[in-house]
Structure 1
Amino acid sequence: MQRLEKLAATKLGAVQHDVFGMCRKLIRTLDESPVFALRTALELQCIDIPHLPTSLRKCALMATVDSPRKRRWLQKHKWVCWSGPCEVINLGDGIQCTSPVCTWAMFAHWLPLSELVQLGDAMMRRDPQLRKVSLEDFERYLARWEYYVRSRRNLGERCRAFRGITKCRRALRLMQPNTDSMPETVMRLVLQQFGIHRAQVNWTVKDEKGYVVAVLDAAYVGAKTDLEYNGEYHKNQRLQDAARTQDLNARGWTVIEVTKEDLQSLKAQQRFVKRVATVLKRRDPSHEYSVRKNPMSLWEVSDGRRSEWRNTNKRYF
């Protein structure tokens, strides 16, 4: 996946360059430098952007203020109010934006749970160049908000958490660090919705001397099965993947290739999950891999009362 990571970084870097120019142009027209947020904050920090609602896609730039009275009405730009803990980072040249975790929390009001999980994963990429935060950073930010609300209420003030904080807690259960792309996240979530337990992300396969042979996208270790998402990319990458697959096969692993067509519709997802379950059952008969007839919603999957979450140390509810 190294070539894909480099392509992603290059594309995000080009977007960042363009948005920096737009931000500088806007700043010159204002009395004070705004704090850019939401999609603009993602673009400035080279973070993958999930599928956004139309209201957020059509805006040129987005910024945040701490009071509705401070909103500015400028054509093509969006100003949102964020009254509470707001983490701001300085990117230089007078440009400021919300931190990755703060931006993620702000998006909870607009994004469905699936997209919020994809965004969280995008901030914790395996590629060090694209990795911005850790899972603990998300945990600390939500804890900071909880403390803020509790402190204000203890002072007798009316205060509530931001819209979507419950969704954020649910998303944290589903998020995984060290992934490479949003389709990988979708693949993992689809399997969970149909009742197949979560795979090990970035499982390392080593040879007899301890050298790394491959780092697997989504491994079911007991079944020695790896799921690899294959997007549209260069022919040379396909040749490299074929050689890698042969090497894994020689070491007893089987590789299931997944494409975007496998995830596009409910019927396609059902066929994909059944295909995976068939392979897992054959290779690991000691474990039960049952496929649900109807998929659960992600809200159901992330329910803290489910046994898979009760057995973890995650405190989110």
Structure 2
Amino acid sequence: MNSSYTLTELTAVKYQRMDICSAIRRRTVWRPPYALTTALELLSVEMPRIASNHQRMMNSTVVTVPHPNAKRHVQGITAVVWPFSIDTVTVDNQFICTSPTCTWAMLSPYLELEELIVLADSMMRRDRRLRRTTIDALSLYLDNAYRQVQEAQDDGKARRLFRGYNNCRRALLLARSGTDSSMETRTRFVPPRYGLDMPQVNYPIYIGRSTKPLYLDLAYPEFKICIEHEGSHHARQWLGDVKRRQDIEDDGWKYLQATKLDIGYEDREEALARRIADKMQEVTGKTIQLTPRKTIRQLCDARTTKRAPLYERLRFAPLLPISHA
């Protein structure tokens, strides 16, 4: 299972890709914008998990053109057609690639719904140096694509939305800004898969008299339960991790740690959900049953997203304020 990438690692990947692009530019004057996985590398965005049948793009430099007639055959380049708005940005004043919002939409046909959400989160990191877009910007791009199709159809032209459009709309229901890692995102999906509420990301707390917030990876402030992902704070020393946990627990929080071994296997994810439910039972004194495992698509269903929060269903008074993402 892949770990999340640091800024340093993403920057190294970016410069490796720039070297490849520079070599290609010396062989051809063709300058279409770089796209898909090539754009992600140039933008220093963490790569989502791409299905094996689409791995070819990982081994090629990908560009995009608005129609098939604009394609050229250049060794080392794969050209894909994107008949929607090709929004671009320039990286390091040299390389033109599709914008983060355009890149996200273009990748939707190649990604499972969960990975599409993971990618959206990766583009909206808490670290400003890695923040590339917003929920509003992603939504606006979809709105414009929809309007483009509607206008074409009104003119009697046969136009369809891109494959992946509906998943993009679903993804925005679960995407969250301010995350720190892809593993944090994948961990966030575990509780709701088994009927628990979606935890909040990077919930700020203040320890003692400190005016500097300490951000919890995932939290249920209503129950004062937090889930910290091992490895998300690897910049700290081991003793710092121990002190962090001690500070959190001294502040009255129930602390759970998740690792990459807890994610990606149904039995282990269910066990993690059970540990979370057990902590909720400790706090509320009420039995909390898990439900059969849901798919990510089921989590996007209105019956799930509009369901009353667990504390209300338990008639439990929240211990701390709840922000509504």
Fold-level match, TM-score > 0.5?
A: yes
Hey, what does 1:156 align to over in structure 2?
156
Hey, what does 1:116 align to over in structure 2?
116
Report the CA distance between 1:279 and its aligned residue. Answer: 0.7
Q: Say if 1:204 and 1:212, in contact at 8 Å, map to a contact too.
A: no
Hey, what does 1:38 align to over in structure 2?
36
Q: Provide closer, same or farther for how the CA distance between residues 75 and 30 of structure 1 changes in structure 2, counting only shifts above 3 A.
A: closer
- 1:235 and 1:247 mapped to 2: Cα distance? 18
Output one character per residue of 1:43-67: Cα deviation in whole Å (capped at 9) or x when no partner: 0010000111333354221111111
- Please state if 1:146 is matched with 2:155: no
Hey, what does 1:302 align to over in structure 2?
300
Hey, what does 1:24 align to over in structure 2?
22
- 2:122 and 2:174 mapped to 1: Cα distance? 13
Letter in 1 for 2:50: L
Query: What residue ranges of structure 1 are gaps of 5+ in the alignment?
Result: none
Q: Say if 2:207 and 2:214, in contact at 8 Å, map to a contact too.
A: no
Query: What residue ranges of structure 2 are gaps of 5+ in the alignment?
Result: 310-323
Q: Say if 1:36 and 1:63, in contact at 8 Å, map to a contact too.
A: yes
Of 229-238 and 259-268, deviating more is: 229-238
Q: Say if 1:117 and 1:175, in contact at 8 Å, map to a contact too.
A: yes
Letter in 1 for 2:55: L
SS of 2:49's equivalent in the other structure is coil
For residues 75-94 of structure 1, what are the structure 2 equivalents within 5 Å? 75-94=75-94
SS of 1:192's equivalent in the other structure is helix
Report the CA distance between 1:236 and its aligned residue. Answer: 4.9
Q: Say if 1:224 and 1:253, in contact at 8 Å, map to a contact too.
A: yes
SS of 2:282's equivalent in the other structure is helix
- 1:213 and 1:76 mapped to 2: Cα distance? 48
Report the CA distance between 1:71 and its aligned residue. Answer: 2.2
For residues 214-293 of structure 1, what are the structure 2 equivalents within 5 Å? 214-231=214-231, 236-285=236-285, 289-292=288-291
- 1:195 and 1:186 mapped to 2: Cα distance? 16
Letter in 2 for 1:174: L
Hey, what does 1:48 align to over in structure 2?
46
Q: Say if 2:102 and 2:141, in contact at 8 Å, map to a contact too.
A: yes
Give the structure-1-normalised TM-score.
Answer: 0.89
Q: Say if 1:59 and 1:77, in contact at 8 Å, map to a contact too.
A: no
- Please state if 1:12 is matched with 2:37: no
Q: Provide closer, same or farther for how the CA distance between residues 188 and 42 of structure 1 changes in structure 2, counting only shifts above 3 A.
A: same
SS of 1:51's equivalent in the other structure is coil
Q: Say if 1:152 and 1:159, in contact at 8 Å, map to a contact too.
A: yes
Q: Say if 1:34 and 1:63, in contact at 8 Å, map to a contact too.
A: yes
Give the structure-2-normalised TM-score.
Answer: 0.87
- 2:15 and 2:104 mapped to 1: Cα distance? 22
Q: Say if 2:24 and 2:76, in contact at 8 Å, map to a contact too.
A: no
- 1:219 and 1:232 mapped to 2: Cα distance? 15
Q: Provide closer, same or farther for how the CA distance between residues 289 and 212 of structure 1 changes in structure 2, counting only shifts above 3 A.
A: farther
- 1:18 and 1:192 mapped to 2: Cα distance? 39
Matched residue count: 307
SS of 1:64's equivalent in the other structure is strand
- 2:109 and 2:38 mapped to 1: Cα distance? 16
Moved over 6 A (4+): none
Output one character per residue of 1:97-149: Cα deviation in whole Å (capped at 9) or x when no partner: 00111111111101000110100000000111101111111111111111111
Output one character per residue of 1:14-40: Cα deviation in whole Å (capped at 9) or x when no partner: 111111111111122223312100110
Of 9-18 and 208-217, deviating more is: 208-217
SS of 1:171's equivalent in the other structure is helix
- 1:160 and 1:67 mapped to 2: Cα distance? 15
Q: Provide closer, same or farther for how the CA distance between residues 32 and 146 of structure 1 changes in structure 2, counting only shifts above 3 A.
A: same
Q: Provide closer, same or farther for how the CA distance between residues 220 and 289 of structure 1 changes in structure 2, counting only shifts above 3 A.
A: farther
Q: Provide closer, same or farther for how the CA distance between residues 306 and 251 of structure 1 changes in structure 2, counting only shifts above 3 A.
A: closer
Report the CA distance between 1:223 and its aligned residue. Answer: 1.3
Q: Say if 1:33 and 1:94, in contact at 8 Å, map to a contact too.
A: no
- Please state if 1:190 is matched with 2:194: no
Output one character per residue of 1:166-209: Cα deviation in whole Å (capped at 9) or x when no partner: 00000101111111111111111122111111111111112464
Hey, what does 1:95 align to over in structure 2?
95
Of 27-36 and 295-304, deviating more is: 27-36
- 1:199 and 1:224 mapped to 2: Cα distance? 11
Task: State the Cα RMSD in Å.
Answer: 2.4
